[in-house]
Amino acid sequence: MFRIRSFTFAAAAALVAGVTTAVCCGEALQLVAAKPLPVQSAIAAAPADASAQPLSALSEAEPWLTAVPGGVAALRGKVVVVNFWTYSCINSLRALPALRAWDQRYRDKGLVVIGVHAPEFAFEKDPAKVRTALRDLGVRYPNVQDNHYATWQRFGNEGWPGFYFIDPKGAIRGYRLGEGHYDEAERLIRTLLTEAGQDVSGIRPAPPVGTGIQAEADWKNLRSPESYLGYAKAGDFQSPDGLRRDVAHRYQPAASLSPNHWDLAGVWAIGREFATLGGTTGAIRYRFHARDLHLVLGGAADGQPVRFRVLIDGAPPGASHGADVDAAGWGEVRQDRLYQLVRQAGVIADRTVTVAFTRPGVRAYVFTFG
C-alpha cells in the first residue's frame, strides 16, 4: 500500500474545457497496474488510455523549447523518460534533481530525458517565461510546451509530476505519478538500457540530492495542504466578510486563524486563478504546519518589482527564512513563479506567516508546503 506523503493532490485543476483533470501530487496516488511489475512495485503499467505509440505522440508535440538532438525520429532504439511537469509546481520542482541525475548518468548510454511542460496557470503558457525557468532551474534536456494538453491526453497522464518509461522498441514499460521511489525508477531505467545492449554496470546508482526549493520535503512534519487563493479552488478563507468574487473589496484580517486557514488585509480582487492587490499596501496570512512554505506570485502589470516582507508569528524569520527572502524577511517579486518564503530551522510547530506587500498589482495564486 502506498503511503500518501502530501495532501497537494487534493487540488484538482479542470483543464481543456473540463475534459482533463490535472492533479498536483506529493509522493503518489495508489496506482493499480494491469500487469504488475514485481521489482518496480511503485511503478504502474501505462494508463489504459495511453497511446500505444508514445514516440508518435511526441513527434506531433509542439513547440519544442529545447529540441531533441536529431529530432524525435532519433529516439527509435533509445530508452526514453518522459516527465510531465509545470515550473511553478513544487512537486515538479522537487523531482528535477532525479531527472537531471538520470540525464547526466545515462545520456551516453542511450537514455533521453524529455520534459513535457503542461501549464497549470495562464502565465506558464508563455514560452519565454518557460525558457527562463529552464535556464534558472538548470534543465538542459529536451522540453516541449503542451499548452493545450494534447500530449498529456495522448499519454493519459493524470498529474504533476508524471513519469513514463519507454523501452527501445517504443513501448511504455512503466508509469509513475508523483514524487519519490526514484531508486525503483532508476532500476527500471537500468533494466531497459541493459535490454538495449548497454553495459551500465560501471555506473553507480545514487539517490538524488536537491538543494533550496528542490530539496526533498520534510514529509513527517508536513501537515498543511496546498491552498489556492483564486476562487475556482479556494477554501478555508477566514476574513470576516467572506470571499467576494471578481470585485475589489477591502478585507479585514480574522481575529485569529485556525490551522490551515488564511485571510487577507487591504483591498484585493479575488479572481478565478489568483488574488490581486489593489490597494497601496496589503497582506496575506496563513496558519501552517510544515518545514517549508511557498507562495506562487506574479508581478505587477507595470513590470516593476514588488517588495514584500515575511513575518513568522509576527517576527522576522531569521534563520527560518526561505530561499527567496533574507533573514529580515525582505524579498521581491520580479518573475511569475514559485517563491520559497519559509524554511523553518529547529522544531517544526504551528506558525502564522504574514506576507505584506508594499505596492499594488501583485498576484497571489497558491500556497504550497514541504
Count CB-CB contacts under 10 A for residue 57.
Answer: 20
According to the model, what pLDDT value does residue 24 have? 65
Phi, psi of 352 (to 5 degrees): -115, 120
Q: What is the rounded CA–CA span in Å between residue 320 and residue 326?
A: 9
Q: 92 pLDDT band (50/70/90 cuts)? A: very high
Q: Can you tell me the mean pLDDT for 334-349? A: 97
Q: What is the rounded CA–CA span in Å between residue 96 and residue 88?
A: 12
- % of the chain at pLDDT higher than 90: 88
Phi, psi of 332 (to 5 degrees): -135, 140
More confident residue, 184 or 16: 184
Structural contact between residues 24 and 226, judged by C-beta atoms closer than 8 angstroms: yes
Q: What is the rounded CA–CA span in Å between residue 74 and residue 112?
A: 10
Q: What tens digit of pLDDT does each residue of 45-68 get?
A: 999 999 999 999 999 999 999 999
Residue carrying the nine cell digits 529547529: 346
Residue type, 316: P
Task: Answer whether residue 349 shows pLDDT above 80.
Answer: yes
Q: Can you tell me the mean pLDDT for 239-246? A: 96
Q: What is the rounded CA–CA span in Å between residue 334 and residue 362?
A: 10
Task: Answer whether residue 16 shows pLDDT above 90.
Answer: no
Task: Answer whether residue 32 shows pLDDT above 80.
Answer: no
Task: Answer whether residue 36 shows pLDDT above 70.
Answer: no
Q: 42 pLDDT band (50/70/90 cuts)? A: confident
Q: Over the chain, what HEC string results?
A: CCCCCCCHHHCEEEECCCCEEEEECCCCCCCCCCCCCCCCCCCECCCCCCCCCHHHHHHCCCCEEECCCCCHHHHCCCEEEEEEECCCCHHHHHHHHHHHHHHHHHHHHCEEEEEEECCCCHHHHCHHHHHHHHHHHCCCCCEEECCCCHHHHHHCCCEECEEEEECCCCCEEEEEECCCCHHHHHHHHHHHHHHCCCCCCCCCCCCCCCCHHHCCCCHHHCCCCCEECCCCCECCECCCCCCCECCEEEECCCCCCCCCCEEEEEEEEECCCCEEEEEEEEEEEEEECCCEEEEEEECCCCCCCEEEEEEECCECCHHHECCCCCCCCEEEECCCEEEEEEECCCCCCCEEEEEEECCCCCEEEEEEEC
Q: What is the rounded CA–CA span in Å between residue 191 and residue 37?
A: 12
Task: Answer whether residue 17 shows pLDDT above 80.
Answer: no
Q: What is the rounded CA–CA span in Å between residue 77 and residue 75?
A: 6
Task: Answer whether residue 29 shows pLDDT above 60.
Answer: no
Q: What is the rounded CA–CA span in Å between residue 364 and residue 97?
A: 27
Phi, psi of 41 (to 5 degrees): -70, -20
Task: Answer whether residue 259 shows pLDDT above 70.
Answer: yes
Residue carrying the nine cell digits 538542459: 140
Q: Can you tell me the mean pLDDT for 13-42? A: 40
Residue type, 135: R
When mean pLDDT is compared across 11-15, 130-134, 240-244, 332-336, the lowest value belongs to 11-15
According to the model, what pLDDT value does residue 3 have? 26
According to the model, what pLDDT value does residue 235 have? 96
Contacts of 108 (CB under 8 A, 6+ apart): none
Per the prediction, the chain carries an average pLDDT of 90
User: What are the residues facing 331 on neighbouring strands?
Assistant: 308
Q: What is the rounded CA–CA span in Å between residue 339 and residue 295?
A: 5
According to the model, what pLDDT value does residue 25 have? 54
Which structural domains are found in the chain, ordered by start?
8-214 (3.40.30.10), 221-369 (2.60.120.260)
According to the model, what pLDDT value does residue 2 have? 24
Nearest Cα to Cα of residue 339 among 319, 317, 322, 314: 322
According to the model, what pLDDT value does residue 41 have? 66
Q: Can you tell me the mean pLDDT for 198-203? A: 97
Which grid coordinates are listed for 89? 509546481
Q: Can you tell me the mean pLDDT for 116-129? A: 98
